[in-house]
């Protein structure tokens, strides 16, 4: 009957299917040759790393009140010591070494705020560490800690020594003199470029003979 639906012959249908399959395989080979990998599973590469670690945006710099001054304290960042400015009472430096040492310790042992943590900063100084007055017979400029300096982690001791070394009132003959609660004699500690670069190294900070 003219105009009636006439099914495609089986041989023609087979040739058409083979042609379609060939086209699919050719497209897949082309994609593979271009280095394209197809996958049906989403890939999570994780958060992008910070491009500028250990650097705070100007908007995140800690603000200070009119009766405070900015003092550099050393924190750990990217396995090194890096300074950040922290507010300390304006009269701390002129009030004596012990007052200055306590004000700086308050800052260096604090858990960094979120803006600093995002930039990679942390502190190893124990939250309970304290500074006590020197004793009779101690070398000039001695600061006694509530823990023996050698019992602190290498990073914590390096942080504290380098932070104190930035304040002239806490430096005696080029070193920071620290003792502990026991009867061990105080020792002089140096903050060197090696101390800042490798605070986790057990050989730093360098120790001076005070005899």
Instruction: Report the pLDDT value the prediction gives residue 34, as an integer from 0 to 100.
Output: 43
| Contact indicator for 141, 170 with CB cutoff of 8 Å | yes
Backbone angles phi, psi at 197, to 5 degrees: -75, -35
Instruction: Report the pLDDT value the prediction gives residue 149, as an integer from 0 to 100.
Output: 95
Structure tokens at 72: 């550099």
The Cα–Cα gap between 99 and 102 comes to 5
Instruction: Report the pLDDT value the prediction gives residue 202, as an integer from 0 to 100.
Output: 67
The Cα–Cα gap between 141 and 134 comes to 8
Instruction: Report the pLDDT value the prediction gives residue 57, as an integer from 0 to 100.
Output: 76
Stretches in the chain below the pLDDT threshold 70? 1-52, 58-66, 92-95, 202-206, 208-211
Instruction: Report the pLDDT value the prediction gives residue 21, as an integer from 0 to 100.
Output: 42
The Cα–Cα gap between 200 and 204 comes to 8
Instruction: Report the pLDDT value the prediction gives residue 75, as an integer from 0 to 100.
Output: 98
């Amino acid at each position: 009957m003219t105009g009636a639906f006439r099914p495609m012959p089986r041989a023609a249908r087979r040739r058409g299917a083979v042609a379609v399959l060939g086209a699919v395989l050719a497209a897949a080979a082309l994609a593979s040759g271009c280095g394209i990998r197809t996958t049906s599973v989403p890939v999570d590469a994780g958060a992008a790393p910070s491009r500028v670690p250990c650097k705070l945006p100007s908007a995140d710099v800690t603000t200070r009140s009119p009766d405070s001054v900015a003092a550099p304290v050393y924190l750990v960042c990217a396995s090194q010591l890096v300074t950040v400015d922290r507010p300390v009472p304006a009269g701390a430096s002129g009030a004596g070494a012990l007052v200055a040492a306590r004000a700086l310790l308050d800052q260096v042992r604090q858990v960094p705020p979120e803006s600093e943590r995002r930039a990679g900063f942390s502190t190893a100084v124990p939250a309970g560490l304290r500074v006590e007055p020197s004793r009779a017979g101690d070398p000039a400029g001695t600061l006694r800690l509530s823990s023996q300096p050698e019992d602190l982690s290498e990073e914590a001791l390096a942080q504290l020594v380098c932070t104190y070394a930035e304040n002239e009132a806490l430096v005696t003959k080029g070193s920071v003199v620290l003792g502990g609660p026991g009867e061990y004699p105080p020792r002089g500690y140096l903050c060197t470029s090696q101390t800042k670069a490798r605070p986790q190294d057990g050989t730093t900070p360098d120790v001076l003979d005070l005899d």
